[in-house]
Structure 1
Amino acid sequence: MTKIFAALLLSLLPMASQAESFDGQVRATLLPGWRLSNGDHVAALRLELADGWKTYWRSPGDAGIPPSFDWSGSRNLDDVTVSWPSPDVFWQSGMRSVGYKHEVILPLRVDLRNGARDARLSGTIDIGICKDVCLPQRLTIQANLPAAARKPDARIAAAMADLPYRAADAGITRVHCQVSAAERGLGLTVALDMPGATGREETVIEFPDPELWVADPETSIQNGQLVSQTRVSHTSRAAFALDRSAMTITVLGGPMPVEIRGCD
């Protein structure tokens, strides 16, 4: 669903640009960070947004545009892992989106081919930004990653401290999933034994298969548990298997943000 939405926005972009210029609404820079003792490198992508604008988390919701990263122009690079600080939930015209406003720093764990040598991180970032309109943005960034850099960057460290808690750290003792038949897919109910839950939380459910579409869940307190109910379908409308052990559920808006992997 988000892929269709993003494609529609891309097709409308030239028309919007003729009416109003949106240059300068987002600025992207790479923070070069520091080299770890094992040869990996910690860097970060910094996104600064103009007042009133927001951008999206890794799972943006039905009203958002999913971000994507291409690091193919880099040197001395094997892989980059993006970490996602706890996002906010936005509601507009009855639709939910998940993301960030003002500024966000996304920590990057950079796996190098040779950890003793300098590296160059060069990327093309496709994101969506929204205010009164939603627009795709393509940003090009690059930075040198010196092997001699050893001092941690406090801005990146602060972003890493804002990552969601793990289930055990949040005191969650049980995660139970129930799957049922549903029109055009499967119904999925996730029940969490989560101390301090109020029922005002928002939940996001993800699966690694990009062809699975997960509806925005309804979240409530039932029998003392935090319960998230949603529907999962395949974009091709074909039959599919649901690997509950590969599921990620993120709880936002409660006493603490929590990210949970898998369920009973």
Structure 2
Amino acid sequence: MKQSSLPLAALLAAVTAVPTLAQGRYDNIVQTEVLQGWDLPDGRRLAAVRLVLAPGWKTYWRAPGDAGIPPHFDWSRARNISAVGLNWPTPDVHVQNGMQSIGYTEQVVIPMHITPTKPGKPIRLRTKLSMGVCSDVCIPHEVSIDALLDSPDLSPTPAIVAALADMPYSADEADVQSVTCRLRPTNHGMQIEARIDLPHTGGTEVAVIESGVPDVWVSEAATTRSGNTVVAVSEMIHTEGGAFAIDRSNVRITILGGSYAVDVRGCTAG
């Protein structure tokens, strides 16, 4: 499985390095703040976590690229929470040592739509965030978050509103006309060729494909444009080498352009 060895080996090396690299000067890479947010008419709470990175450091988006570590929230110790919907602002594309990663520098506000188990009762936002951070070295990092959301409020928080406004456009908002995906088997997994008919999003466009299948690694997409059509080609490989199936309705494609980004959910057979 030669094509998948580089990202998997990099991730394994980073995880192995945790006991030593996470000590000392690596302890204060990320500062966290919970933004209390406000109550929504449907009973949900819209809150957020602000991550402030030390100078020179970056962290990763939900689909981090070949060189990144995907963030993960563990909600097992939270209280009065039945569901959490994360809203990721538009990330930046970084190229370091010839490898592409996707994420954030300086700081990022991550809005959360929280559905309480018992509406109207306080919410204990207690979680561990496992994430990757990168500067001269790239390492896994973990932060603990614990806050009580107990003050009813209907006034929107400006920082959360700004983060929501910075999210990619939906397919409808971006005037996407059609999205098709062609799948074919490869020696190690499956190739996906996505074709998205949409207006130019500005500058150099980068497509990111997410398979919608756990433990399936997706390579950096070769992205080209012809007229009104973006073509993105990636290879998908199961991290344990097993077989897998793709449901096109669960495929997610994000086009990161110089002017704006577009979030496309699902595709049809090409």
In structure 2, the CA distance between the partners of 1:147 and 1:226, relative to structure 1 (3 Å rule), is same
Q: Give, as a single letter, the amino acid of the residue that structure 1 aligns with 2:15.
A: L
The aligned counterpart of 2:15 is 10
User: In 2, Cα distance between the equivalents of 1:247 and 1:239?
Assistant: 17
Contact 1:65 1:128 in 2 (8 A): yes
- The CA deviation at 1:73 is 2.3
- The CA deviation at 1:159 is 0.5
Contact 1:46 1:104 in 2 (8 A): yes
Partner SS, residue 28 of structure 2: coil
- The CA deviation at 1:42 is 0.8
Q: Give, as a single letter, the amino acid of the residue that structure 1 aligns with 2:187.
A: E
Q: Give, as a single letter, the amino acid of the residue that structure 1 aligns with 2:178.
A: R
- The CA deviation at 1:25 is 1.8
Contact 1:31 1:43 in 2 (8 A): yes
**Does residue 95 of structure 2 align to residue 83 of structure 1?**
no
The superposition leaves residues 77-125 of structure 1 with CA deviations (integer Å, 9 ceiling, x where unpaired) of 2121111010001100111111000010000111101112222211111
The aligned counterpart of 2:219 is 215
Structure 2 spans left out of the alignment, 5+ residues? none
Contact 1:120 1:142 in 2 (8 A): yes
In structure 2, the CA distance between the partners of 1:122 and 1:66, relative to structure 1 (3 Å rule), is same
**Does residue 39 of structure 2 align to residue 28 of structure 1?**
no
Map residues 29-178 of structure 1 onto 2, 5 A cutoff. Answer: 29-178=33-182
TM normalised by structure 2 equals: 0.91
In structure 2, the CA distance between the partners of 1:237 and 1:14, relative to structure 1 (3 Å rule), is closer
- The CA deviation at 1:170 is 0.6
The number of aligned residues is 263
**Does residue 206 of structure 2 align to residue 202 of structure 1?**
yes
Partner SS, residue 16 of structure 2: helix
Aligned alpha-carbon RMSD (Å):
1.9
User: In 2, Cα distance between the equivalents of 1:102 and 1:197?
Assistant: 24
**Does residue 226 of structure 2 align to residue 226 of structure 1?**
no
User: In 2, Cα distance between the equivalents of 1:239 and 1:79?
Assistant: 30
Contact 2:202 2:257 in 1 (8 A): no
In structure 2, the CA distance between the partners of 1:10 and 1:233, relative to structure 1 (3 Å rule), is closer
Identity of counterpart residues, as a percentage? 39
The superposition leaves residues 195-245 of structure 1 with CA deviations (integer Å, 9 ceiling, x where unpaired) of 125672111100221121211101011354211011112223333222111
Q: Give, as a single letter, the amino acid of the residue that structure 1 aligns with 2:21.
A: A
User: In 1, Cα distance between the equivalents of 2:89 and 2:201?
Assistant: 21
User: In 2, Cα distance between the equivalents of 1:256 and 1:210?
Assistant: 28
- The CA deviation at 1:156 is 0.6
User: In 1, Cα distance between the equivalents of 2:87 and 2:10?
Assistant: 24
User: In 2, Cα distance between the equivalents of 1:213 and 1:121?
Assistant: 30
